[in-house]
Structure 1
């Protein structure tokens, strides 16, 4: 493709990330930043957060989160996908204080997926009382998460 723009870059980065090719997603992002004038958008960041969580790269995940803040990207942008992605990443990495901070920073977007990520993170971290506390707060009962 001769003229790559942010849409084509992000489509490829997302395709790699969402199919478990996390390293390829990160490599392509680095290439985009090196050779292109394209600037990442919220969709790009959603895929990067997912890739960082999949690889277990907590340091890089925190850097991506910092870039969201520095560039004034609201975590409630993109239908709450940035919010859910950050909660999933931090809880999956066992960084429960950060996961909880993100979770509570935008509680209105904390849907069943966020609650599940938080509860699972607390259980994996052995913080069963906190998992139970959060389970008791779940607004929608008897619903199976779809993602």
Structure 2
């Protein structure tokens, strides 16, 4: 009679494989979270800048003023300093992303702010510089730096 071999995993092999899988997950989860925060921040920053372009062009065509207020992890578009921003005029970034210096830009009918400014924006792994130049039609540029 032939001896039949048992083709199953031993308990020790199963524990070892599960330990390797859990170690891989423990190491990968923080990187996945940072990647998600960076992606969401970049998309939200793009949305804010599209809204800025819209408001800039709207101010050239009509009277009025709009204030862009950068604080903590939000950007608010307000009609005046005393009126609160509506929920649809508020852009909220992930909590890990932030504007370290609170600033505001005022766009009036000429489309210009008081003076050119640079807004700093930080995520866990990147730092963004939004440079508003206002000379030559309210242009801006976004520079990205890894931390």
Which category describes the TM-score, using the shorter chain as reference length?
A: under 0.3
Higher helix share: 1
Instruction: Give the structure with higher Rg (CA).
Output: 2
Structure number having the greater strand percentage: 2
User: What's the TM-score once normalised by structure 1's chain length?
Assistant: 0.26
Normalising by structure 2, report the TM-score: 0.26
